[in-house]
Structure 1
Amino acid sequence: MFDHMIMKNEFEQDFKNNAADIPYIKELMCPSGDTKRKYKGNPQECLYDIVANKHNGIDVDKWDYFARDCHNLGIANSFDHNRMMKFARVIKVHREYQICMRYKEKLNVFEMFHVRDIIFRKACHHNVKNIISLMITEALVLANEHYQITGKGSKKLKMSEAIDDMVAYTNLTDNILYELLDSTDIKLAKSRRIITNVLERKNLYRYIGKLSRKDGKPINADSLRKVKEEVERMKLDLVIDEIKFDYGMPGEDPTEDVWFYHKQAPDKAFQIDKGEVSAMLPDKYFEQEIRVYCKEKAKAKTAKSSLKLWIAGRKQYTFMEEKDEIDFDNENTGSQKKLINDPIHGIIELHPLCVKIIDTLEFQRLRQIKQLGCCYFVYPGASHNRFEHSIGKPIFDVTYACLVSSTRLCQPE
């Protein structure tokens, strides 16, 4: 994509006096052992670690998405990236320059990886979010043979082929869902139905529980593949989804590869034991969840019973049923309130009728309308939409109405 952008926009002229910058930028984005040898023993070597740190995962890419994602998700960010930057220092470690952290920042280092774990657990692998991801994936797979994207030389390509054509890949964005939704092609009817169900929160997959090994060890890839094949043969309309949680380096404590320095000896790097930080830090740095979903509500109970019988015949596995199953159909009948996390107002409780109104295509369209119109072309952060505003605004309505009412009682004149 970077090469395509340079050629299409004729940026070669801008780099003619610094031709080496193009491969260097690409190396920064995708560093390898070979490219880093170019600056071996040179302080510039650590520039790779600023952009994409392969030693321990501490880099500015994470710092920005921690701050930005937490703000937009309404999740508290307890990691202080500004403080981390102030106390970072380049020191030579075993003939290699590395970015080292001040010793007193050791807790902040651990907190960085903890925040990453929180984002993944609360948002990236939120149960309903994963259900929607699986359904959208199904919709795109069904549409792949029938929906085409224009590539280089006006060539028509499937979505799955766009990765090899940068002209087509440039046009492959989240908007594809709404293009499929607006299509009238009968061959895309199944995809449209799934996308509509997602937007209206109807007929979503049912989460029925988690599969795991009795000894607590992860289920390896080969065993999981066999489980999926056997479950598929049972024809229960079940979907098995593997979720992995780690601190960025599967199964490893990334802080073991972080180097520190003391104020009294700023040019001498050393490593620490996590016991120096706290005795309450984790002993394991990898967790696996095998979530099981049923595609149809009507089959969920039967599928769960059949799956439990299947697992009972296999002593190495155990099944944990979902104790707080969400019934989306009941939500849409107007019988349940709903709590949502708003980045401005925090937790908002929605009246059942509000839930019904929000889960309509007419209201969901507001997700595609920017609150500030074309301002997002000038201000990168102005990408918020009318959907979130329409949910948050009533909080001010209610608060202000209560304030005015109480003022009238105190000041009748």
Structure 2
Amino acid sequence: MGGHARAHAAYPRSVAAWPGAVRSYRLYRAELRHNAVLANRRNYSLWRVVRLHAGADLASGCAACAPYAAAGDASFGAPRKCRPLRMTRKDSSRAIAADLCRLDVGEVRTGVDLRLYSQWRCGGPADLLVAPRNASEVAHLLSYFHERSIPWAVIGGGSNLFFHDHGVRVPLIHIGRPLGEIRVSGDRDRLHAEAGAWAPRVALTAMRAGLGGIEHTIGIPGAFGGLVLMNGGSLRQGVGENVLTVDIVDADGQRRHLNRKQCGFAYRRSQLQGRKCVVVGATLQLKPRDPALMRRRMIEIMASRRKRFPRDMPNCGSVFVSDPALFASFGPPGAVIESCGLKGARVGDAMVSSRHANFIVNLGAARAEDIMALIAHVREAVAARTGRHMRCEVRFMNCDGEVREAHEWFAPEQAPLPAPESVETLHG
């Protein structure tokens, strides 16, 4: 009998043979596996799940095994190798959810339909979603994840994000309406908004206070935090031009304040996107302007958007970023895509809009796979015509919670979805 088989034969499979401290329904259901997780009986009852060095000696100082080595458990023996338990995804998510409910860090839900959190209305279920109500709860939540080495991801309004068809396994932090306070400072030229505030509402609040500079954001249907994170805007402007400071919570749960230079704003991106953190708010430096003039300008922007952009079908706005070099030679992305004859190009229920070619709309049952395949097809067609690959503005989250701009997933060794099998072009 090999070492692996002997180890499992020696391990007590019967709950009755285990010490009383580990007699648990959750552990009863857990399968015995190497390189998985071990329920720590000491600090965190039986709900806590910690990662562990498989094969480490019980007497070698492994932190997770210390309780066993110290107790000299006859059922485990000493010295012996770590034999971690593997809990199912469902068990693990429920265990974490139970802890977060006790910690009171916001609304906690399991098995959440992510189609409701992407404006493309596609994606699978999230194992666990937490919606903190303030920055302090965000800090406590990230501290909890950091101490236990639990991976996580953050989502907001979903205006530029879509999810894998199989869903997301890691806990998701949703920054939404509860974290949505907006206030004008006493200096009368500064406005502070929390990350969950709706971006058009921030623009309207500034207008009513007679503060100008962000009128171009009036038609962007997303959360303010996401707008800051990707330096969003319209008319080739970005909100980063007016950012004074950004409030974030780092992965270790520490709150920090960054100035504009530290954020590294560029066209439709910032250095915050490469930092493992949660944006919880930002302060804008604005200029006094006539509210009537700003209101008129906002009405013009909204009228233009209603005329040019599809509003009757789910979409995530502009798919591709306007490349200055491409713009100078061929025009904006929509015009370039249209010149390639791609209006109406379709994969499954994902279609290049017949109204604006830089929009991909969901005709009803589009999958993330369809959208990714159509994006790849459009990029290759434009590259064949112009010699330049367009960069995506929309971002894709895989099952492990990793987020990248959609085109960054197309390398063969990284592609999370299959290539398109067929592309149908509709005319008429």
Do these two structures clear the TM 0.5 threshold for a shared fold by scoring above it? no
TM-score, with normalisation over the residues of structure 2?
0.23
Pick the structure with more helix per residue: 1
The higher relative CO (CA closer than 8 Å, separation ≥ 6) is in: 1
TM-score, with normalisation over the residues of structure 1?
0.24
